[in-house]
Amino acid sequence: MAKITLSCIKADVGGYVGHGDVHPEMLDLARELLGASSLLIDYHVTRVGDDINLILTHREGVDSPKIHGLAWETFKRVTEVAKRLKLYGAGQDLLVDAFAGNVRGLGPGVCEMEFEERPSEPVIVFMADKTEPGAWNLPLYKMFADPFNTPGLVIDNKMHKGFDFVVHNLKENTQIRMSCPEELYDLLMFIGAPHTYVIKEVYSRELGEIAASATTTKLALIAGRYVGKDDPSLIVRCQSGLPAVGEALEPFAWPHFVGGWMRGSHCGPLMPCTVEQARPSRLDGPPRVVALGFQIADGRLIGPRDLFADPSWDKAREMANEMAYIMRRHGPFEPHRLHLDEMEYTTMPEIMRRLAHRWQPIPEPGETAKELVASGRASATGDGSEVD
Ligand code: F6R
Ligand code: MG
Ligand code: MG
C-alpha cells in the first residue's frame, strides 16, 4: 500500500476580534475549498486563537508543490473574507506573494510526515497560539526522553532504545541529529535555548520510523521584522513503540513558560485547553495549546477527539492561570518581558538614539566631574544638554 502523508499547514490570515479568534466564515470557506480538491484523501480545518490549521492527508509526499499550493491558495482566498469583514491583520502570515512550489519561507508554518499506515495509526496534532516553535522543545523532550514522564522508555521493549532528535538552529539555518539517551545532556544544552534551537523531528531508533514533526517557521527571521508570532503546530504518532497517547499529553500537565503572549514579547505559561477554550483574551493570552487526536484509517481522519476536554486538565489550566498572575506582577520587567534580543516589538533603537548623547562615563574612583570633562571623556554639562 502506498505511503500516506499527514500534513498540518497553518497561518494567521486575520483575527476576530483583534488577535484572539478566527471568524467562522473563514473556516467555512477553507472547508469548502479543501472539500472541492481531488488531491486530498481527507482534511480537517480547525483553529487555535487566531491561527487556522489545515490538517490534510494525501499521497503526494512531504514538500509537495501541489499540496502546498492548495494550502497557499486556500489561505489567499480566506484572506479575501478577512479583508471583506475588515478583520484584524488580514493576510498577515502571507509574507511573500510569490508562491513557487513550497510554503516554507513564505510565512505559513508546516509540519508533515510520510509513513506506512500501521494496522492502527493514532496521531495527535498539537496546535499553539501566542508562542513560538521552541515551545515544543520541553514537551518533546519529556515525551521522548524523560522516563519520569514516559514510563514506556523504561518498561516497553520497543521504546527502550530511545529516540533520535533532529534539531534546527533557526539563526544559522543548520541542523543536527542527536541520539538519546546517549546524548541527552548535549541535546539539553541546545534545546534549553528554545529561541534559537528547536526540535524539528523525532525518530524511533527501534522502529526506524518518524514519530514527531514540528513547524519551525520564524516569521521575524523571514520578514526581517516583526509580523506576528510564529505560533507552532506539532504532529505526534502514538502507541506500539511510540509514546502512548497519555504519555504524549502528559508534559502539558505541568504548564511551562514560553516566549510569546502580548506583542510576542512576553514570557507566559502554555495553557492546555479545548478548541472551544482556545480564544485567548487575557492580555491577548496567556499562550494556548490544543491537542486533537485522530485515528487514521486508509488515510481518512477518524475524529477528532479534543484531548484536553477532560476534567483531569483543569488543574493544569488553574496552574497556568496562577503562573500567569505571577508573571503579570512583573509588568515591564524581565523575566515577564522577554530579553532584549527576543522581543518582537521594541522601542529600544529609537530610545537609544534619542538618549545616546546623555550617556556619560562613570568617573573612576577619586575622579571629579571636572577631570572627567578635562579628559575629554564627558561633555561639559555632564547631562549632554549642549548636544543635539
Ligand atoms: C501576539 C499578538 C498580539 C499583538 C497585539 C498588538 O502574538 O498577536 O498580542 O501583538 O495585540 O497588536 P498590534 O500591534 O497589531 O496592534
Ligand atoms: Mg494575529
Ligand atoms: Mg496566532
Residues 38 and 109 in one domain: yes
Pocket flag, ligand 1, residue 228 (CB < 6 Å): yes
Q: Please indicate, yes or no, if residue 349 is contained in any of the structural domains.
A: no
262 CA to centre of ligand 1 in angstroms: 6
Q: How far apart are CA 380 and CA 369, in angstroms?
A: 9
Pocket flag, ligand 1, residue 105 (CB < 6 Å): no
Q: Report how many helices (DSSP H) and strands (DSSP E) the chain contains, helices first.
A: 10, 15
Q: Are strands 109-115 and 210-214 parallel, antiparallel or unpaired?
A: unpaired
pLDDT averages per 10-residue partition of the chain, 388 residues: 93 96 98 98 98 98 96 96 96 79 83 98 98 97 98 98 96 95 98 96 98 85 65 97 98 97 96 98 98 98 98 98 98 96 88 94 89 84 48
Q: How far apart are CA 216 and CA 317, in angstroms?
A: 26
Helix axes 184-191, 137-145, angle to 10 degrees: 170
Residues 218 and 294 in one domain: yes
15 CA to centre of ligand 2 in angstroms: 5
191 CA to centre of ligand 1 in angstroms: 27
DSSP single-letter state for residue 156? -
End-to-end CA distance of the chain: 74
pLDDT at 387: 42
Residues 162 and 258 in one domain: yes
Q: Are strands 233-237 and 121-129 parallel, antiparallel or unpaired?
A: antiparallel
Pocket flag, ligand 1, residue 87 (CB < 6 Å): no
Q: How many domains, in total, are found in the chain?
A: 2
Residues 70 and 98 in one domain: yes
Q: Please indicate, yes or no, if residue 45 is contained in any of the structural domains.
A: yes
Which residue's CA is the nearest one to ligand 1's atom 15?
Answer: 89
Residues 275 and 375 in one domain: no
Torsion angle of alpha carbons 79, 85, 87, 92, nearest 10°? Answer: 20
Q: How far apart are CA 76 and CA 94, in angstroms?
A: 8
Per-residue cell: 112: 508533515
Q: Please indicate, yes or no, if residue 352 is contained in any of the structural domains.
A: no
Q: Please indicate, yes or no, if residue 346 is contained in any of the structural domains.
A: no
Q: Please indicate, yes or no, if residue 247 is contained in any of the structural domains.
A: yes
Helix (H) or strand (E) holding 367: none
Q: Please indicate, yes or no, if residue 69 is contained in any of the structural domains.
A: yes
Expressed as residue numbers, the domain containing 367 is 357-388
Residues 298 and 388 in one domain: no
Pocket flag, ligand 1, residue 264 (CB < 6 Å): yes
